[in-house]
Structure 1
Amino acid sequence: MFKRIGLFLLTNLLVVVTVGVIMNIVLPMLGIQVRGTTGIAIFCGIFGMSGAMISLFISRWVAKRTMGIHILPEGEPLQRMVATLAREAGIAVPEVGIYESPEPNAFATGPSKNSSLVAFSTGLLDQMNEREVEAVAAHEVSHVANGDMVTMALLTGVANAFVMFFARMVAMAIDTFLSDDEGGGLGFFGYIIVVFVLENVFMMLAYIPISWFSRQREYRADAGAARLTSPRSMAQALDALRNVTAADRVSGAMALQRISSPKRVSLWATHPTLEDRIERLNAM
């Protein structure tokens, strides 16, 4: 439930950095200049959305390759469970996979409702009973049914475009401020360095609303899982996860995701606290 966003955002960042290199180094070397506010805005809009869309379309492939996911054949108990939930949710049956990890985790990814992947860690399958695993599977199927990856890609694409545009506008303003009648300014490589630094700073700020949206969609996926199974089943699955992470003292990647923090989540947390999610499910 916790690596889906990280994989997507990391891939998106790598694509944006690549686009930045092309835009700032390769194109000028070829004699292609993007000038004027309108030209830069159009260029950033195209490449910003492209980064997110590329991340979306290769997300399933990236997940398989980077995490060593073993795809289950049709007829396996876990595959049948996910297939049943998918049909109830009105979507195409996703690929179902397992990957080696002691952390209790699961995620869904893919470019569309008809082309998706739901993967489970061995740690989750070892530490949860069948009813809890079914609730987790329903949660991930709900993400697919809600079109969350597509919505996230569109939101991230818009953020990319604004980040790339404002980074260049600020860099141009700094260059103009440092220039005088004798020249000066940032210079070619100075401008590139400033743009890359500003892109990273602005991207961190852009992740605040993106993370807020991610937390809201977790609530929606919990509600979807409650409809496919029951609120009690989903709450029990989260409670089992809370017990595991509490015993683990929330180390490593789990601490990064703040999945069991008793305090308010950070601005960059992609998931609400387990306590808050369980409370909402119990209220149902």
Structure 2
Amino acid sequence: MIKRYALLIATNLAVLALVSIVMAVLGISPASYGGLLVFAALLGFGGAFFSLAISKWSAKRFTGAQVITEPRNESERWLLSTVQRQAEMVGIRTPEVAIYDAPEINAFATGARRDASLVAVSTGLLRAMTRDEAEAVLAHEVAHVANGDMVTMTLLQGVMNTFVIFLARVVGRAVDGYLNGGRDNGGGIGYFAVVFVLDMVFGLFASMITMWFSRHREFRADEGGAMLAGREKMIAALERLSLTYGQNTLPKQVAAFGISGGVGGGLKKLLMSHPPLEDRIAALRNAPPDSSAVKQGFLA
């Protein structure tokens, strides 16, 4: 918890420092943009928290996930009992457990609160993985829930949204004024064109920061999964993912919370929500058996 809040505070301070530097360079008075900052924060955080609030509903709708209410077979009974046992180990209410139809090996967790979450697995995972491997995947997703990753990602996304909305319009106003000889034309076509371009440019950098944190929390969830299910099971599950790694039919709303991500290099690598599988496996193999990182991975 302390690490999570420290990261958010540091991110906020970095954004405020960058905005202050930009405004100072452009000779802009911060007092004259107070209303814009409030507007940007309301819009930026409002959109992020709205997405979080409907995350379970949208995940079920877009994946077609069917929540297990009454187990119909032994496999569904095992899924429910495994998630229940892992949730008790980390002190959270048992998430809803669902199955969705998809060919790849994948699973995801979502939800607005730790005690009102959803864990879903693909039919491809159930077909391709052993019970030990599937147990590790479930533990990885339960670790995401216990870590509060959904809320943390929402807060970070809200900060980044605010940064993009505010700074794009501040710089856009300055550029438009310069192009018009210092005259403020009240936000003409040139202003909106500049803001449109800056929204995309600043949005790209904001996405890099958000995805960096997403990759960081995947390592923490792997450590939590190793603690709950066993390190060798977690490693075996990650190795099994190589069968369909890079294939991901999850919708954008929940793709970052799946255990499997895409692949890429160069600039694309900076925008990936998941680290390379080999890096995740190496991190688990190199961690001492009694390391605090593994013991307390789901609280990192």
Q: TM over 0.5, yes or no?
A: yes
Contact 1:259–1:274, Cα closer than 8 Å, also in 2 = no
Distance 1:265 1:227 in 2: 31
Q: Which runs of 5+ in 2 are unaligned?
A: 1-30, 72-76, 251-255, 288-300
What residue number does 1:272 align with?
A: 275
Quick one: which amino acid aligns to residue 241 of structure 1? L
The residue aligned with 2:65 is 69
Where do 1:1-284 residues align within 5 Å?
Answer: 36-75=32-71, 76-180=77-181, 187-245=187-245, 250=246, 259=262, 266-284=269-287
Report the CA distance between 1:44 and its aligned residue. Answer: 0.7
Aligned in 2, Cα 1:127/1:279: closer, same or farther, shift over 3 Å? Answer: same
Kept in 2, the 8 Å contact 1:52–1:156? The answer is yes
Matched residue count: 244
Q: How many angstroms does 1:195 deviate by?
A: 2.3
Q: Aligned partner of 2:172: which letter?
A: A
Length-normalised TM-score, structure 1: 0.78
- In structure 2, the residue corresponding to 1:93 is in which secondary structure? coil
CA distance in 2, matches of 1:69, 1:126: 16
Deviation (angstroms), 1:187? 4.9
Output the aligned Cα RMSD: 2.6
Shift of 1:43: 1.3
The amino acid across from 1:230 in the alignment is G
Question: Which SS does the other structure have where 1:120 is aligned?
Answer: strand
SS in 1 for 2:283: helix
> Any idea what the Cα deviations from partners look like across 1:88-145, whole Å, max 9, x if unmatched?
1111111111111101111100111011111111111111011101100000000000
Distance 1:57 1:184 in 2: 40
Contact 2:177 2:184 in 1 (8 A): no
| Structure 1 CA distance for aligned equivalents of residues 268 and 217 of structure 2 | 15
Moved more, 266-275 or 256-265: 256-265
Q: How far apart, CA to CA, are the structure 2 residues paired with 1:137 and 1:280?
A: 19
Q: Distance in 2 between matches of 1:82 and 1:53?
A: 26
* TM-score scaled by length of structure 2: 0.74
- Secondary structure of 2:99's aligned partner: strand
Equivalent-residue separation in structure 1 for 2:203 and 2:124 (angstroms): 33
The amino acid across from 1:53 in the alignment is F
Which string of whole-angstrom CA distances, capped at 9 and with x for unpartnered residues, describes residues 222-280 of structure 1? 111111011100000000111343xxxx45769x9864569998111111111111111
Give the gaps of 5 or more residues in structure 1: 1-34
Q: Is the 8 A contact 1:260 1:274 kept in 2?
A: no
Q: Tell me, in whole angstroms, the C-alpha distance in 2 between the residues paired with 1:223 and 1:252.
A: 23
State the secondary structure of the residue aligned to 1:282: helix
Match of 1:23 in 2: none
Higher relative CO (CA 8 A, sep ≥ 6), structure 1 or 2?
2
When residues 265 and 201 of structure 1 are mapped into structure 2, their CA distance, relative to the original with a 3 A threshold, is closer
